């Protein structure tokens, strides 16, 4: 049964955030709010998290997981950025964008795309997510909580608790989260390619 924890949307209680981080370090899979709906998350070193996320979402092995970062310095340790990509990504963060970029050796091989050796990264703009990342002190492996057959991410914590009670370990609820997935931009080539239009304005990459 998933543990259900409520937290203030703007000023998340430190003890609640610390509880979630302790569970993450014990290999928990959490459902948590972001600036683009709810997401599923676990630590990078989780031996079970990636497969559990794939099972919940009905994903294949080619799916790009997203590594959520607390700041640009953390992001820069995970991916290679050209000068042009650096300026573009930095200008759009924090915010509801996911960037696909070539992974560095810091990214576990199992989390990168098996053929392209790329990974999705982003810096969210949400007080609860930011508090989690700061307390954790490392990137969070994540995937938008879109169930099979659906187009939009889940946005209600209690509904997630009822739907995924046996599939996740923690549901962190701060009220309705902003709907809509992130805008995904592939920056693995010389020019950006918008591969999914979501909450973030895609025109800045055209």
- Residue 6 to residues 38, 141, 167, 176, 202: CA-CA distances in angstroms? 14, 22, 19, 12, 33
The better pLDDT of the pair 61, 205 is held by 205
pLDDT tens across 72-101, in order? 999 999 999 999 999 999 999 999 999 999
Q: Phi, psi at residue 184, to the nearest 5°? A: -105, 125
pTM of the shown model: 0.91
pLDDT tens across 103-130, in order? 999 888 878 877 888 999 999 999 999 9
Q: What was the pLDDT predicted at 36?
A: 87
Cα 73 from Cα 164, distance rounded (Å): 34
**Two structure tokens written together for 75:** 């992001």
Q: Phi, psi at residue 183, to the nearest 5°? A: -80, 125
Residue 94 preceded by cis peptide, ω within 30:
yes
End-to-end CA, the chain: 45
Q: Which stretches does DSSP call E strand in 44-123?
A: 66-68, 97-102, 118-122
pLDDT tens across 7-47, in order? 999 999 999 999 999 999 999 999 999 988 899 999 998 99
Q: What was the pLDDT predicted at 108?
A: 84
- Domains recognised in the chain with CATH numbers: 3-205 (3.90.870.10)
Q: Is residue 62 predicted with pLDDT exceeding 80?
A: no
Q: What was the pLDDT predicted at 129?
A: 95
Q: Which of 19, 29, 60, 45 is nearest to 164 (CA)?
A: 29
**Residue 73, C-beta contacts closer than 8 angstroms, at least 6 positions apart:** none
- Continuous segment of H or E residues that includes residue 86: helix 83-92
pLDDT tens across 158-200, in order? 999 999 999 999 999 998 677 778 999 999 999 999 999 998 9
**Two structure tokens written together for 112:** 């990168």
Cα 59 from Cα 91, distance rounded (Å): 31
The tokens 């799916």 sit on which residue? 63
């Amino acid at each position: 049964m998933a543990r259900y924890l409520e937290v203030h949307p703007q000023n998340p209680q430190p003890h609640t955030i610390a509880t979630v981080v302790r569970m993450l370090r014990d290999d928990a899979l959490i459902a948590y709010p972001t600036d683009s709906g709810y997401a599923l998350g676990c630590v990078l070193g989780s031996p079970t998290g990636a497969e559990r996320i794939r099972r919940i979402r009905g994903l294949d092995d080619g799916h790009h997981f997203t590594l959520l970062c607390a700041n640009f310095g953390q992001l820069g340790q995970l991916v290679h950025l050209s000068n042009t990509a650096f300026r573009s990504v930095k200008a759009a963060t924090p915010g509801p964008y996911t960037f696909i970029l070539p992974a560095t050796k810091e990214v576990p091989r199992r989390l990168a795309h098996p053929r392209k050796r790329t990974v999705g990264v982003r810096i969210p703009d949400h007080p609860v997510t930011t508090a989690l990342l700061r307390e954790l002190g490392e990137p969070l492996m994540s995937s938008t909580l879109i169930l099979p057959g659906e187009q939009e991410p889940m946005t209600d914590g209690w509904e997630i608790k009822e739907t995924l009670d046996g599939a996740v370990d923690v549901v962190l609820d701060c009220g309705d989260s902003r709907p809509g997935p992130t805008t995904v931009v592939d920056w693995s080539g010389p020019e950006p390619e918008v591969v999914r239009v979501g909450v973030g304005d895609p025109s800045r990459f055209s």
